[in-house]
Amino acid sequence: MNDGASAGGYAGQVLRVDVGGGSSRTERLPGEWIEKYVGGRGFVAKILYDEVPPGTDPLGPLNKVVMAAGPLSGVFLPGSGKTHFGAKSPATGGYGDSNIGGHLSPELKMAGYDVLILEGAAADPVIVVIDDGKVSVRPGGEYWGKGCIEAETALKRDLGEDFEIAVIGPAGENLVRFACISHDFGRQAGRTGIGAVLGSKKVKAIAIRGTHTIPLADPEGLRELGKSMYRACFSKPGFREWTPNGTAGVTDWVNEIGAFPTRNFQTSYFPEYKKINGDRLRADIHLTDKGCMGCPIPCGKYSLAKVAEGQAHVEGPEYETIAMIGGDCCLADINEVGYANYVCDELGLDTISAGNVAAFAMECYERGLLTEEQVGRPIAFGDLPSVLYLFRKIAAREGIGDLLAGGVKAAAEKIGGGSERFAIHVKGLEWTGYESRYAPAMMLSYATADIGAHHNRSWAITFDVARGRGKMEGKPEKVVELQHVRPLFDCLGVCRLQWVEIGFDLEWYERVFPLVTGRKVSWDDLLRVSERVWNLTRAFSIRHVPGWGRAMDRPPARFLEEPVPDGPAKGHLITADQMSELLDNYYALRGWDNNGRPTRGKLEELGLDDVAKHLWG
Amino acid sequence: MRLETKDELCSGCRVCQLVCALENFEQNNPKMGLLRIIGHFPQPGRYEIRVCDQCGACRDACPVEAIYEVDGVLRVDESLCTQCMACVEACPRGVMTTHAALASPKKCILCGACAEYCPTGAIYDADTVAAEDAWRITRGEVARTVGGGLGE
């Protein structure tokens, strides 16, 4: 099945689809990929590095969209529903990837494939249908223009309820650079604009149905260890305490420590946070929990949000949406946040970037850098119609929406007037739900995350709180450690929240890996894989984006020069000198040079000799 | 063992189907699970669980008397089954299960693994857990009474 490199865990095949020509072909999953990159994010990074050369237009036909499962995806163990998408990012121009929960990767593996690669571009809208071994590229015009949820509903009606579907909305069709991919009525691969890459290929949807068994090296052993893993989750206090509110439950804590994005990150405390927290979500709008494949702690909260404009079923809002549309746009009503979440979901906008961009526009308007004439109406923080207006204009690329559809970095370059100081992004990717002026490890995490400002590579803010908010010592070490542990879950194809949120022990993964794959590898071996992938994605971006390095590993000026004005973090910031010192230590720990480039020695040590040649000749 | 369900507790995670197929066929394949989870999305927004209640419609429909009862549990005698699929058509809950890799239609034999590993208490053994307690399991108000070591 796969060069004999693994006895189980992999379907053993890679599916390539030429969406323009409509043809597809199947390749054996290379054993080298399994050994050096494991799966998921590792496969995405390897494929993009090898097959998308520098100079490629992210929205041109030579970019590729990769969807990959990990060896643990779809297996009977906690949180096995994760899928990894990747492409050269239209938001940053560098390596882009985004993770999604639900049921896609299990279905892909049951259809016979670990990896799907979409190549080329269609002239007219298409859908890609994978039904076990039968692959087809079909006309998709009847779905084009529909919202994500509307289109998914129609596709399930037309193809069958048992298809798992990934779909883009109008934002993706219109090449908005923070367009997401949607699945299962409200889950998203939100970040880095991969929805726009699908849109550029005229691919409205990917529909998958599979019936094959996912091979296991030791089915009986896995069954028994899997049961133990579930029982271990059930016995954790967090199983009962964390699950009812899901990720929204962290809203109170983030405000209490002064790290909640508020008013376009002007401050880090939203006085009305108790109106949009997990308790309000659970009590006021929640209908049912919605879990990914194999999940014992479903964080998906399916809700019904009611506002003056109407009512909407929505999965969420989860914490990031509460932070970026709630706090950052100052919406102080869980119904309003939920409804705005729904509008983004239907349009196919990443709620994180969309909230950040809307907040940026509202601050520009307050400061007179955007006029009522330019915007088309008055806009204001705390006003739901303003926020919805901006989202809809962006998705349609109409008027002000066209200016904002490139994200805050591109918009600030056009608006000028010093707006780049409060365009809250790193490398063109909008910042997410943790204001970090009083959290050096978290600030360093955002500055150095491989896709731009994103929290999930290293959610180090708990370490800042535990170790001392103002302290710099030990912070780079923790960031490097987390940047290897957390993305490893994305290689394995499982969710990290069992570990992060309820304290499920990491040792389980080392124990379960050989039962699934037949390969005995240590946790340290797996971390080495993760470090290899981290260096590979860094090298990709260095080769694709001039200046990707130290000069771009930095937060916006607001965070380095304006102390937090109020709330629990009042008066704090991290200076440019402190940031520089954090980076010096971080690069040294990584074996990178002072400009943030992986050294030849480090790359060769990781078995990336070809990459070393590309970077150093 | 008497399987009962609370749809409002189901999160659609399909742990029940995964463990069922492993328990009964040693296959990691939720499509072989002997119970169904049906999502009703985007509206009204809930999952529906269908488990076998041993109603006997399959036995009554079988023309060759291949389905027999032992201690209240209906089983398929594969040596008699002709794969006519009459039982599949007759099953009112759609849980007589067929799969290309399985020789004959399969049905639930009340092994109880689904109830034991359902993370939310949406499937439970009504012989040992009261309906109102199944609801309270997710709120941590009562200990699980099924399964080894799950309780407090």
ipTM of the prediction = 0.96
Range of the domain at A530: 440-616
pLDDT at A287: 95
Per-residue pLDDT averaged across A334-345, rounded?
Answer: 98
Please say whether the beta carbons of A592 and A535 come within 8 A: no
pLDDT at B136: 58
pLDDT above 90: percentage of residues in chain B: 79
Please say whether the beta carbons of A312 and A319 come within 8 A: no
Residues 6+ apart with CB under 8 A from A224: none
| pLDDT higher than threshold 90 for residue A568 | yes
pLDDT at B135: 59
For residues B66 and B28, membership in a common domain is answered with no
For residues B79 and B64, membership in a common domain is answered with yes
The total number of structural domains in chain B stands at 2
What's the whole-number average pLDDT of chain A? 97
Residues 489-518 of A with CB under 8 A from B: none
pLDDT band for position A16 (50/70/90)? Answer: very high
pLDDT at B149: 32
Residues 6+ apart with CB under 8 A from B92: B55, B57
Cα separations (Å) of A458 from A137, A259, A445, A496, A609? 38, 16, 6, 12, 27
Q: Both tokens of residue A97?
A: 């990837």
- Inter-chain touch B101–A213, beta carbons under 8 Å: yes
Range of the domain at B118: 1-51+109-143
For residues A532 and A561, membership in a common domain is answered with yes
Chain B residues closer than 8 Å to A210 by CB: 31
Per-residue pLDDT averaged across B33-51, rounded?
Answer: 97
Chain B residues closer than 8 Å to A185 by CB: 39, 41-42
Q: Kindly report, residue by residue over A443-495, the tens digit of the pLDDT.
A: 999 999 999 999 999 999 999 999 999 999 999 999 999 999 999 999 999 99
Q: What is the least distance, in Å, from the CA of B3 to any CA of chain A?
A: 19
For residues B45 and B8, membership in a common domain is answered with yes
Cα nearest neighbour of A243 on chain B: B138
3-state secondary structure A51-78: HCCCCCCCCCCCCCEEEECCCCCCCCCC
Tally the C-alpha atoms within 13 A of residue A196's C-alpha that lie toward its C-beta: 31
Distance CA A126, CA A202 (A): 6
Cα nearest neighbour of A218 on chain B: B26
| pLDDT higher than threshold 50 for residue A37 | yes
Q: Which of A559, A465, A464 lies closest to A264, judged by CA?
A: A559
Distance CA A177, CA A349 (A): 9
Chain B residues closer than 8 Å to A74 by CB: 28, 30
Tally the C-alpha atoms within 13 A of residue B27's C-alpha that lie toward its C-beta: 17
Considering the domain boundaries, does residue B148 fall inside one?
A: no
Distance CA A112, CA A588 (A): 43
Enumerate the H helices of A449-521 as residue ranges. Answer: 461-467, 475-492, 497-502, 507-517
Q: Which of A191, A184, A203, A232 lies closest to A118, judged by CA?
A: A203
Q: What is the least distance, in Å, from the CA of B134 to any CA of chain A?
A: 14
pLDDT at B147: 40
Cα separations (Å) of A247 from A243, A250, A259, A470? 8, 6, 15, 26
Distance CA B62, CA B56 (A): 10
Considering the domain boundaries, does residue A284 fall inside one?
A: yes
Burial class (CB in 10 A: 0-12, 13-18, 19+), A494: buried
Please say whether the beta carbons of A198 and A121 come within 8 A: no
For residues A361 and A477, membership in a common domain is answered with no
Q: Kindly report, residue by residue over A238-257, the tens digit of the pLDDT.
A: 888 899 999 999 999 999 99
| pLDDT higher than threshold 90 for residue A304 | yes
Burial class (CB in 10 A: 0-12, 13-18, 19+), A546: exposed
Q: Which long-range contacts (CB under 8 A, 24 or more apart) does A414-418 make?
A: A415/A364, A415/A369, A415/A370, A416/A369, A417/A364, A417/A367, A417/A369
For residues A183 and A85, membership in a common domain is answered with yes
- Inter-chain touch B11–A295, beta carbons under 8 Å: yes
pLDDT at B137: 57
For residues B1 and B47, membership in a common domain is answered with yes
Strand A164-167 relative to strand A83-88, pairing:
unpaired
Considering the domain boundaries, does residue B149 fall inside one?
A: no
Task: Provide the CATH number for the domain around residue B83.
Answer: 3.30.70.20
Task: Provide the CATH number for the domain around residue A115.
Answer: 3.60.9.10
Per-residue pLDDT averaged across B41-59, rounded?
Answer: 97
Q: Which of A149, A215, A291 sits opposite B13 (nearest CB)?
A: A291
Per-residue pLDDT averaged across A582-610, rounded?
Answer: 98
Point out which residues pair with A313 in neighbouring strands: A304
For residues A456 and A393, membership in a common domain is answered with no
- Inter-chain touch A291–B100, beta carbons under 8 Å: no
- Inter-chain touch B43–A313, beta carbons under 8 Å: yes
pLDDT at A2: 45
How many interface pairs between A and B have CB atoms less than 8 angstroms apart? 122
pLDDT at B1: 87
Q: Kindly report, residue by residue over B105-130, the tens digit of the pLDDT.
A: 999 999 999 999 999 989 998 888 77
**Can you tell me which residue has the tokens 């994305």?**
A490
Cα separations (Å) of B90 from B55, B63, B79, B97? 11, 12, 20, 12
Q: Which of B41, B42, B100 sits opposite A211 (nearest CB)?
A: B100
The total number of structural domains in chain A stands at 3
- Inter-chain touch B29–A214, beta carbons under 8 Å: yes
Cis peptide leading into residue A317 (ω within 30°): yes
Considering the domain boundaries, does residue A525 fall inside one?
A: yes
| pLDDT higher than threshold 70 for residue A507 | yes
Considering the domain boundaries, does residue A432 fall inside one?
A: no
Considering the domain boundaries, does residue A600 fall inside one?
A: yes
Residues 240-299 of A with CB under 8 A from B: 240-241, 243-244, 287-298
Q: Kindly report, residue by residue over A185-225, the tens digit of the pLDDT.
A: 999 999 999 999 999 999 999 999 999 999 999 999 999 99
What's the whole-number average pLDDT of chain B? 89
- Inter-chain touch A288–B140, beta carbons under 8 Å: no
pLDDT above 70: percentage of residues in chain A: 99
Chain A residues closer than 8 Å to B46 by CB: 287-288
Considering the domain boundaries, does residue B139 fall inside one?
A: yes
Considering the domain boundaries, does residue B151 fall inside one?
A: no
Question: In this structure, how many other beta carbons lie within 10 angstroms of the beta carbon of residue A527?
Answer: 14
Per-residue pLDDT averaged across A266-276, rounded?
Answer: 98
pLDDT band for position B145 (50/70/90)? Answer: very low
